[in-house]
């Protein structure tokens, strides 16, 4: 045995975000010897790394929290409707303390390879610290947004000022007072940074390539009375969330845009704007499949931008055109557009004035050099598949995940893959992944995997994988649902278009969380009829 020093455990979990934390808890409760491996120094995943100013979740805190523990629901109190990063990280730490999760994790450790040993029916995982772990089961809770991506601009290393990456923000406060600050990236991250840093910086230069649509968050403090009500009704709310396509509490509608007369449409849009949050998608049912309805809402929002932003040229540059609203993840802001009315905030429209290079002193665009003391990258992620392809994953017969996914990710339910026995992903790229509440999906996926493992133990089975046929059928189903979706019409991380050379396409399940959960449940109810198993054979 070449792995003489290998440590044998029951289950390896990769990642200490909300998915990995719950996985470790769940399997430990099942009596398993589970080891979690995490690159960061503590729990929290994306909320551990993303400490940039203004970082906040755009799902309501009542949604974006665990539903598996009624005790934790009662013991923890959210302060705001949409929680900021420090509070979410505090919550992750609270859960880790409460359930004593850290003892199962190895922090500051990266998995460098995971290889299936067919003979021994074990996953063999190596780490950057030189450890070797072996386990019958491996769970990848590596997150859809965990591999940051630098912009594709020459000269990054040349910059002599302070360079910050949103997703690797230092653990200390950064003082922007009097500084000339540049931000590249105007997705959800950039928008949160810009509205926060704008009022603090001496001067803020926003380098915008593609403007995003952003809607008012209308955040608020939660009153003690409201918190008490929430706590009283958490169980019923969690049950409702499982039936909801968002896996959260957002209202759902079946009302198409053009079913309303024009004045009522206008009224409904105004109401959605006033309510804030993701209300638009709960106001009209067909915004992601009806281009004209989508354009009407986009136009309404562009009108709002025009009303808020004083300078007409800046307003025009901020108005997104040429792709459907909500085809790029809609951002929620507090005073994003208002920030551009400040005299110290400057928008550089990189569609007209492209970035040529990063220099020692700042950024050179076609019109000249912009000198900066600080530069912030908010340029997104190698999303959905990046974390799973960042190390070697080798399944049966030497099949690598890179090979299997060379034309895009393929799996059954986003959880399991033909050719990769006993390997499971939570919030994988062919489930609802980024399109629904990630914590609800994580819980669903972990529970599903746990049920499958229990089933196998009851039946004395050693290895499981979906058949190629059922995986193909799922991918056909995913593709059929994706075909009419306007999400395909924007170049975003949702479709892999933000990373050079990455296969593009909408591989997420767009049918909503509730339907996804039903599909998962049907597989379990069929006693995994479309899965193939190896039986444990006692040596003669």
Residues interacting with ligand NA7, by CB under 6 A? Answer: 145, 151-153, 184-190, 207, 209-210, 329, 350, 355, 378-380, 434, 493, 498
At its nearest, how many Å lie between ligand NA7 and the CB of residue 107? 23
Q: How far is the CB of 233 from ligand NA7 (least distance, A)?
A: 28
Q: What is the DSSP string of 499-516?
A: STT---S--S-TT-HHHH
Main-chain dihedrals φ then ψ at residue 490, nearest 5 degrees = -130, 150
Backbone angles phi, psi at 131, to 5 degrees: -80, 150
User: Using a CB cutoff of 8 Å and minimum separation of 24, what contacts does 417-421 make?
Assistant: 417/465, 417/466, 417/471, 418/465, 418/466, 418/467, 418/468, 418/471, 419/395, 419/465, 419/468, 420/116, 420/393, 420/395, 420/396, 420/465, 421/116, 421/121, 421/395, 421/396, 421/463, 421/464, 421/465, 421/534
What's the min distance (Å) between Cβ of 91 and ligand NA7? 17
Considering beta carbons, is residue 209 or 515 the nearer one to ligand NA7? 209
Q: How far is the CB of 59 from ligand NA7 (least distance, A)?
A: 9
Q: CB–CB of 88/65 below 8 Å?
A: no
CB crowding 263-299: b at 16 or more within 10 Å, else e: eebeebbeebbebbbbbbbbbbbbbbebeebbebbbe
The minimum distance between CB 47 and ligand NA7, in angstroms, equals 11
- Please say which residue, 422 or 507, places its beta carbon nearer to ligand NA7: 507
| CB nearer ligand NA7, residue 151 or residue 155 | 151
Element holding 25 (H helix, E strand):
helix 18-29
Of residues 211 and 466, the one with the C-beta less far from ligand NA7: 211
Q: Which is nearer to ligand NA7, 282 or 380 (CB)?
A: 380
Q: Which is nearer to ligand NA7, 153 or 222 (CB)?
A: 153
The span from the CA of 364 to the CA of 371, in Å, is 9
Q: How far is the CB of 485 from ligand NA7 (least distance, A)?
A: 16
Q: Based on CB atoms, which residue is closest to ligand NA7, 331 or 461?
A: 331
Q: Which residues contact 82 (CB under 8 A, 6 or more apart)?
A: 56, 57, 58, 59, 60, 61, 217, 219, 277, 332
Other Cβ atoms within 10 Å of 307 Cβ, number = 10
CB 27 within 8 A of CB 36: no
We find the least distance from the C-beta atom of residue 76 to ligand NA7, in angstroms, to be: 23
Closest CB to ligand NA7 among residues 30, 356? 356
Cα 145 from chain centroid (whole Å): 5
Buried b (16+ CB within 10 A) or exposed e, 403-419: ebbeebbbbbbbbbbbb
Using the minimum distance from each CB to ligand NA7, give the nearer residue, 184 or 523: 184
In this structure, the number of other CB atoms found within 10 A of the CB of residue 30 comes to: 14
Pick 69 or 359: Cβ nearer ligand NA7? 359
Closest residue to ligand NA7, judged by C-beta, is 187
- Minimum separation from the CB atom of position 369 to ligand NA7 (A): 16
Give me the least distance between CB of 512 and ligand NA7, in Å please.
17
Burial class (CB in 10 A: 0-12, 13-18, 19+), 174: middle
d(CA 17, CA 95): 11
Using the minimum distance from each CB to ligand NA7, give the nearer residue, 153 or 252: 153
- Shortest distance, CB of residue 154 to ligand NA7, whole angstroms? 10
Contact between residue 503 and residue 382 where contact means Cβ atoms under 8 Å apart: no
**Closest approach of Cβ 16 to ligand NA7, in Å?**
19
In the complex, what is the shortest distance from the CB of residue 329 to ligand NA7, in angstroms, rounded to a whole number?
3
Measured distance CA(364)–CA(316) in Å, rounded: 23
Give every CB contact of residue 508 below 8 A, 6+ residues apart in sequence: 384, 429, 430, 431, 432, 433, 434, 435, 478, 482, 494
**Smallest separation, CB 160 to ligand NA7 (Å):** 20
CA dist., res. 180 & res. 372, Å (int): 5
Collapsing DSSP states into helix, strand and coil, what is residue 389?
coil
Q: Closest CB to ligand NA7 among 27 and 207?
A: 207
Q: How far is CA 524 from CA 437, 447, 456, in A?
A: 22, 11, 12
Give whichever of 69 and 491 is closer to ligand NA7, judged by the CB atom. Answer: 491
């Amino acid at each position: 045995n070449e792995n003489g020093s290998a440590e044998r455990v029951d289950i390896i979990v990769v990642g200490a975000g909300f998915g990995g934390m719950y996985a470790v808890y769940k399997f430990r409760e099942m009596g398993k010897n589970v080891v979690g491996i995490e690159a960061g120094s503590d729990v929290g995943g994306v909320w551990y790394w993303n400490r940039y100013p203004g970082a906040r979740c755009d799902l309501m805190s009542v949604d974006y929290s665990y539903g598996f523990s009624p005790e934790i629901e009662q013991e923890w109190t959210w302060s705001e409707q949409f929680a900021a990063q420090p509070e979410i990280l505090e919550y992750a730490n609270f859960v880790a303390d409460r359930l004593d999760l850290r003892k199962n994790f190895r922090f500051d450790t990266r998995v460098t390879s995971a290889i299936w040993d067919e003979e021994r029916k074990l996953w063999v995982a190596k780490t950057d610290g030189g450890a070797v772990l072996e386990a019958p089961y491996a769970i990848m809770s590596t997150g859809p947004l965990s591999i940051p991506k630098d912009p594709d601009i020459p000269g990054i290393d040349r910059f002599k000022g302070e360079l910050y990456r949103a997703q690797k923000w230092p653990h200390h406060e950064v003082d922007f007072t009097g500084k000339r600050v540049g931000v590249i990236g105007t997705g959800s991250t950039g928008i949160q940074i810009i509205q926060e840093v704008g009022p603090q910086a001496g001067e803020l230069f926003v380098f915008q390539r593609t403007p995003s649509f952003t809607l008012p968050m209308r955040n608020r403090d939660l009153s003690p009375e409201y918190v008490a009500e929430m706590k009283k009704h958490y169980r019923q709310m969690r049950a409702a969330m499982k039936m909801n396509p968002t896996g959260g509490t957002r209202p759902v509608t079946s009302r198409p845009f053009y079913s309303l007369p024009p004045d009522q449409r206008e009224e409904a849009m105004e109401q959605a704007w006033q309510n804030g949050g993701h209300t638009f998608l709960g106001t009209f049912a067909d915004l992601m499949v009806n281009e004209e309805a989508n354009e009407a809402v986009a136009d309404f929002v562009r009108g709002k931008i025009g009303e808020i932003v004083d300078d007409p040229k800046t307003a025009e540059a901020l108005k997104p055109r040429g792709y459907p609203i909500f085809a790029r993840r809609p951002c929620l802001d507090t005073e994003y557009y208002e920030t551009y009315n400040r005299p110290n905030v400057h928008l550089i429209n990189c569609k007209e004035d492209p970035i040529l290079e990063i220099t020692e002193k700042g950024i050179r665009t076609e019109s000249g050099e912009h000198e900066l003391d600080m530069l912030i990258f908010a340029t997104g992620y190698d999303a959905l598949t990046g974390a799973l392809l960042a190390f070697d994953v080798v399944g049966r017969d030497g099949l690598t995940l890179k090979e299997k996914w060379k034309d895009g990710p393929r799996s059954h339910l986003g959880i399991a893959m033909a050719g990769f026995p006993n390997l499971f992903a939570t919030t994988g790229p062919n489930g609802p992944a980024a399109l629904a509440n990630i914590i609800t999906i994580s819980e669903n996926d972990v529970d599903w995997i746990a049920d499958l493992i229990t089933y196998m133990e009851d039946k004395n089975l050693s290895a499981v994988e979906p058949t190629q046929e059922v995986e193909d059928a799922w991918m056909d189903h995913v593709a059929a649902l994706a075909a009419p979706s306007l999400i395909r019409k924007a170049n975003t991380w949702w479709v892999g278009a933000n990373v050079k050379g990455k296969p593009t396409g909408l591989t997420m399940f767009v049918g909503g969380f509730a339907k996804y959960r039903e599909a998962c449940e049907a597989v379990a109810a069929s006693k995994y009829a479309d899965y193939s198993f190896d039986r444990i054979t006692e040596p003669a």
